[in-house]
Amino acid sequence: MVVIDAMGWVCPRPVIEAKKVIAQFPAEGGVVKVLVDNQIACDNLSKFSASKGFGCDVTKLADRQYEVIITVGEGRAQDSAPAQAPVAVPSGDGLVVAISQNKMGHGSDELGQILIKGFIYSISQLEVAPKAVVFFNSGVKLTLKDANTLADIQSMVERGTIVRVCGTCADYFKVKDQVAVGEICNMYDIVDAMSSAAKVINI
């Protein structure tokens, strides 16, 4: 049994880390125990397990302490079916993510900052890394040396993702010297990246 201590982790990280462990199981399957501190994580792990045909047992151990045991057996075959041959796409196609603010959504700024952290972590864990991620307006603050999103953005760079940071925006917020990842660029570079993409996600 593999144990993942996901206490304090914000979704979707518990699910993503569980998926990574399960992907390493042998053909006969295995068992992973995930320790979490909230009901949402339990629900998401349960939904993931159900979608793959895995067994899932959730136990509340104490206040804000849960144990989720995922059993991968016969359902493993569903998750490891031979992949279909990739469909050829024209050169230059790919996903570009455009991030225009240092939070996600409207309402609570505190919640928005939690959500944008989870979003960037999630795109960093995609099986195929984005072609490019561009940051403008207050989104440039996510690339600063003290940002809690820095490690996830850097991991995408290491996988080949182009990261572009709006120089005009960095100058406006007076943070240009604090940008710690990516390439300072102009708006033409950002438009060029977005116009050549097969799909663009705007945040």
DSSP the chain: -EEEE-TTPPTTHHHHHHHHHHHTS-TT-EEEEEEESSHHHHHHHHHHHHHHT-EEEEEEEETTEEEEEEEESTTHHHHTPPPPPPPP--TT--EEEEE-SSS-SSS-HHHHHHHHHHHHHHHHT-SS--SEEEE-GGGGGGGBTT-TTHHHHHHHHHTT-EEEEEHHHHHHTT-GGGB-SSEEE-HHHHHHHHHT-SEEEE-
113 shares its domain with 177: yes
Whether pLDDT at 141 is above 50: yes
90 located within any domain: no
Average pLDDT over residues 121-132: 91
Instruction: Give the tens place of pLDDT for each residue, 160-203.
Output: 999 999 988 998 999 999 999 998 888 878 888 888 888 999 98
Can you give the residue range of the structural domain that contains 68?
A: 2-79
Average pLDDT over residues 142-152: 94
Instruction: Give the tens place of pLDDT for each residue, 56-115.
Output: 999 999 988 999 999 998 544 344 443 343 333 333 348 999 999 999 988 899 999 999
Domain C-terminal end among 49, 79, 109: 79
144 shares its domain with 71: no
State the CATH number of the domain containing residue 18: 3.30.110.40
Predicted pLDDT of residue 27: 87
